[in-house]
């Protein structure tokens, strides 16, 4: 797979290789386009996504929304190198009032959503399903490191919109994000459908930081008619962004189109390099010890209130694993 095609032999050594024709699912493919000073990651999710969404048996609109959140979290979380977590949480007044995706570096994903089935109705897109509230993105790199949290308001827009807002406010790096989720139906598989998803993140990282300057955020309290500070965007970024905006959902999801071929299709005129893909898995990180530690963090009254039929039973919302404790094990004091 790492062999170079003849027409690439003149390029410098390094990660350059011919686009692989073989699609890899559940993987993040980092890439860079030197000529445009952009770098990013492409993600394709198949079995891992299907495993998470199917286990919970979500109605299709909820599955699609949580799928988008999983793709976004994967794009962001895969920037963590060795350890740490990237947690995306949405809390809103919409039909899907809560969702969480937990990415544990280097390669574990888990997620769940809470929703009100009676309110799903005609809400189809992510904006309508989420409604108003906020999206929190937390980077937790372990006990010795400070936690970082970025918050974005959700105001009826899509998760892509919210991601752009996050990058504009928190990271101040010109960024485009694309997210797509779909259901694949195969007649030779008993008619069962499978969830698939794909997404792309692209960032403008020129060596001269002034080239990445963006227009100021609109001052919400400026008098009407006040001029908003205008900044001409860099030509390279305008070109890269317009290329990424041509990507269609079907291309991001297509099980027959490898990530490398998709990147080549987009950037072949400028030359694109890809790096070693990172393979992901759907895996919960819950354990009996972790649940016991969580119980210990509760107040004695809260613990006592959890005793039913002389047992404390805790079900993991991510993976539905059930943990049983005696009141004694759960730290419940005798009444």
Structure tokens at 82: 């060795």
- What binding mask, one character per residue, do residues 279-318 give for Zn ion by CB under 5 A, x or -? -----x-x-----------------------------x-x
Q: Which is nearer to Zn ion, 250 or 294 (CB)?
A: 294
CB closer to Zn ion, 214 vs 321: 321
Stretch that binds Zn ion, among 79-87, 135-143, 241-249, 276-284 (CB under 5 A): 276-284
- Which CB, 104 or 196, lies closer to Zn ion? 104
Please report whether residue 101 would count as binding Zn ion according to CB under 5 A: no
Q: Among residues 159, 95, 166, 99, which one has the least CA distance to residue 127?
A: 159
Of the pair 102, 160, the CB lying nearest Zn ion is at 102
Say whether residue 319 binds Zn ion (CB under 5 A): yes
**DSSP E strand boundaries for the chain:** 27-33, 38-45, 85-92, 96-104, 108-115, 132-140, 148-155, 175-185, 193-204, 273-274, 278-279, 281-282, 312-315, 322-325
Q: How many residues does the chain have?
A: 335
Between 141 and 321, CB nearer to Zn ion? 321
Q: Please tell me the distance from the alpha carbon of residue 49 to that of residue 54, in angstroms, as a whole number.
A: 8
Helix (H, G, I), strand (E, B) or coil at 264: helix
Cβ distance to Zn ion smaller for residue 91 or 321:
321
Query: DSSP secondary structure string, 176-241?
Result: EEEEEEEEEE-GGGTT-EEEEEEEEEEEE--SSGGGG--PPPP-TTSPTTPPPPP-PPPHHHHHHH
Could you tell me the smallest distance in angstroms from the CB atom of residue 314 to Zn ion? 10
Q: Give least dist CB 285 to Zn ion, A.
A: 7
CA atoms of 152 and 173, how far apart (whole Å) = 16
Shortest distance in whole angstroms from residue 57 CB to Zn ion: 16
Please tell me the distance from the alpha carbon of residue 228 to that of residue 125, in angstroms, as a whole number: 31
Going by the DSSP 8-state scheme, the letter that residue 308 receives in this structure is B
| Closest distance of CB 318 from Zn ion, Å | 4
User: Minimum distance between the CB of residue 327 and Zn ion, rounded to whole angstroms?
Assistant: 23
Does residue 310 contact residue 138 with C-beta atoms inside 8 Å?
no
Q: Does 103 bind Zn ion (CB under 5 A)?
A: no
Site for Zn ion in 151-170 (CB under 5 A): none
What are the tokens at 6?
A: 């003849």
Query: Which residue's CB is nearer to Zn ion, number 183 or number 317?
Result: 317
Which range touches Zn ion (CB under 5 A), out of 37-45, 82-90, 275-283, 320-328?
320-328
Footprint of Zn ion on 109-138 (CB under 5 A): none
Query: To the nearest whole angstrom, how small is the minimum distance from the Cβ of residue 189 to Zn ion?
Result: 27
In the bound complex, what is the minimum distance in angstroms from residue 49's beta carbon to Zn ion?
17
Q: Which is nearer to Zn ion, 168 or 316 (CB)?
A: 316
Longest distance between any two alpha carbons in the chain, whole Å: 79
Q: What is the binding site for Zn ion (CB under 5 A)?
A: 284, 286, 316, 318-319, 321
């Amino acid at each position: 797979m790492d062999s170079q095609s003849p027409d690439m032999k003149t390029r410098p050594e390094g990660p350059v290789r011919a686009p692989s024709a073989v699609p890899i699912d559940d993987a993040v493919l980092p890439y860079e386009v030197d000529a445009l000073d952009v770098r990013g990651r492409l993600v394709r999710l198949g079995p891992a996504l299907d495993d998470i969404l199917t286990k919970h048996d979500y109605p299709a609109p909820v599955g699609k929304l949580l799928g988008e959140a999983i793709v976004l979290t994967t794009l962001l979380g895969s920037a963590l190198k060795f350890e740490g977590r990237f947690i995306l949480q949405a809390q809103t007044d919409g039909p899907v009032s809560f969702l969480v995706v937990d990415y544990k570096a280097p390669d574990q994903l888990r997620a769940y959503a809470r929703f009100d089935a009676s309110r799903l109705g005609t809400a189809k897109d992510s904006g309508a399903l989420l409604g108003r509230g906020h999206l929190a993105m937390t980077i937790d790199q372990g006990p010795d490191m400070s936690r970082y949290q970025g918050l974005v308001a959700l105001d009826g827009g899509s998760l892509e919109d919210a991601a752009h807002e996050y990058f504009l406010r928190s990271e101040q790096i010109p960024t485009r994000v694309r997210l797509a989720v779909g259901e694949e139906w195969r007649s030779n598989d008993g008619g069962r459908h499978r969830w698939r998803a794909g997404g792309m993140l692209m960032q403008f990282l020129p060596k001269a930081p002034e080239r990445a300057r963006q227009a100021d955020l609109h001052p919400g309290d400026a008098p009407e008619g006040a001029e908003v500070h205008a900044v001409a965007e860099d030509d390279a970024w305008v070109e890269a962004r317009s290329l990424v905006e041509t990507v269609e959902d079907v291309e991001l999801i297509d099980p027959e189109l490898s990530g490398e071929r998709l990147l080549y299709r987009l950037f072949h005129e400028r030359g694109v390099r890809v790096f070693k893909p990172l393979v992901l898995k759907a895996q919960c990180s819950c354990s009996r010890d972790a649940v016991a530690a969580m119980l210990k963090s509760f107040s004695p009254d809260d613990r006592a209130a959890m005793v039913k039929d002389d047992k404390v039973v805790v079900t993991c919302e991510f993976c539905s694993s059930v943990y049983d404790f005696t009141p004694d094990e759960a730290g419940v004091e005798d009444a």
